[in-house]
Structure formats: C-alpha cells, structure tokens
Amino acid sequence: MGVQLIHKKLIKKKLTISVAESCTGGLLAHNLTKLANSSKYFQMGLTTYSNQAKIKILKVNKNIIRKYGAVSHECCKAMVQNLSKISKSKINVSITGIAGPGGGSKEKPIGLVYIGIKKGKTLLIKENNFKSRNRYSIQKSTVSTVIKIISKII
C-alpha cells in the first residue's frame, strides 16, 4: 500500500487532500506530490513548524499550545480541524511530534508523534511512539503510517 495506490484512488474518486506538517517538515507533502498528476488531488501543504506558525497560519488557539504543548492530541486536533476550514479539501492531515535527536522528555519522548486525519465528519487523532533515535527514520515512519491510514479510508 504505497503512494502509487493512493495516487490512483484519489484521482479515480476525485478526492482532494491537504496537509499541515510540523516534525515531518514537508516530507508527507513531498511523497504525495512526487508522482505526475498529483495536482488533481493535492491542494496544499503547510509546514507549520513553529508555535507561531501554528497560531498565525492554522489559527490554533495559543491557550491550547500553552496548556498542552504543540506536541499534543489537542494541538493536532486543532491543526487538522482548522486546516479543513482553510483548504476545503475532502481529506486533511495534521502532524505534530518530536523527531529528535533532542527535544524529548519523560512525558513526551523522542518519537512521540500525533497524526490527525479528517475526512468529512470523521476525525481521527492517533498517538504514535516511533522507537528510534534517528530523526529521518521517525519522519519516514510517520509518513508511512499516514499513507497506510489514508489508503484504508479512501
């Protein structure tokens, strides 16, 4: 179940997709747009890396970030819901997490990544803990998890 299959299904079903990424830094958008004709389904990819970008661009309430942190179920949910309003895509994805090698804590270890997916009225927020000290491996695992989830829901 790779990008090729999603690519074909999105085009066939005339579905659109947008993404808001933090710790993956645009890797999901890259994977969704690397095949020709991806413009038929891919609408926008926002890399809202800083808290400021999440607040200014995605309109995440600063109190959510203050209370729960940018790497939280609550922030991920606000990211995907607000992206959905901005993009008007049929499928919206948000990613926020800690790819490392620094920045982890006991409560929020390196590899903790939240994935939010909204399709119509269906909203899924998935907490993942990718066990790796390797930044790129955490980013790749996140993207492949998103692709698996999308392939199941389309």
Domains and CATH numbers, the chain: 19-32+43-153 (3.90.950.20)
Using pLDDT thresholds of 50, 70 and 90, give the confidence band for residue 133: confident
Residues 60-86 pLDDT 10s: 999 999 999 999 999 999 999 999 999
Checking if the pLDDT of 1 tops 60, the result is: no
Residues 88-104: b if buried by 16+ CB within 10 A, e if exposed: ebbbbbbbbbbbbeeeb
Per-residue pLDDT, averaged over 94-101, amounts to 96
Residue with tokens 């990613």: 95
pLDDT, tens only, 34-51: 999 999 999 999 999 999
